[in-house]
Amino acid sequence: MALTREQIESIAALARLELTAEELPVYQDSLSRILEFVGALERADTASVTPMAHPLPGLSQRLRPDVVTEQDHHAEYQQNAPQVAAGLYLVPKVIE
């Protein structure tokens, strides 16, 4: 199925990706081709099939006891942050 330029712009906006004017037609073409390719799935009869939820049969997500296991590492972790001040991550103003 062919995607329109507007659809690509809307997907990019949902994915929070800035695309250049050169990138848009490239993704319009390749995403359309990928969707056509995965369209082959329509042919499979899955009427009575439960979607897979875990790659190992019979297993589901394990839970752990709700206890504190981690110490405070924020100073260490913030060494990788682009911008911090007084232990806080800085972002552009959100509320005027």
Partner 1 sequence: MSELHHMGLAELAAGLRARRFSSFELTETFLKRIEASQGALNAFISVTREAALAQAAAADRALAAGTGGALEGVPVAHKDLFCTKGVRTTCGSRMLDKFVSPYDATVVAKLKSAGAVMLGKTNMDEFAMGSSNETSYYGPVRNPWDPRLVPGGSSGGSAAAVAARLVPGATATDTGGSIRQPAALCGITGLKPTYGRVSRYGMVAFASSLDQGGVLTASAADAALMLREMAGFDPNDSTSVEREVPDYVAELDAPLAGLRVGLLQEFFDKGLEPGNEQRIRAALKVFESLGARLSEVSLPNLPLSVPVYYVVAPAECSSNLARFDGVRYGHRCEKPRDLTDLYRRTRGEGFGAEVKRRIMTGTYVLSAGYYDAYYLKAQRVRQLISADFTRAFTGVDVLMGPTTPTPAFPIGAKTSDPITMYLNDIYTIGANLAGLPAVSIPCGFVSELPVGLQIVGPHFSEARLLAAAHAFQRATDWHRRIPAGYA
**Residue ranges in contact with partner 1 by CB under 8 A:** 3, 8, 11-20, 23, 26-27, 30-31, 33-35, 37-42, 44, 46, 49-57, 59, 61-64, 73, 76-77, 79-83, 89, 91-94
Q: Tell me the closest approach of the beta carbon of residue 1 to partner 1, in angstroms.
A: 10
Closest approach of partner 1 to the CB of residue 17, in Å: 5
What whole-number distance in Å separates Cα of residue 3 and Cα of residue 6? 8
- 3-state SS, residue 95: coil
As measured in angstroms, the least distance from the Cβ of 25 to partner 1 is 13
In what helix (H) or strand (E) does residue 88 lie, and over which residues does it extend?
strand 88-89
Q: What three-state secondary structure class fits 37?
A: helix
Query: Quick one: 6 or 92, whose CB is closer to partner 1?
Result: 92
When the beta carbons of 44 and 68 are compared against partner 1, the nearer one is: 44
- Residue 22 tokens read as 């050169």
CA 77 – CA 90 distance, rounded (Å):
14
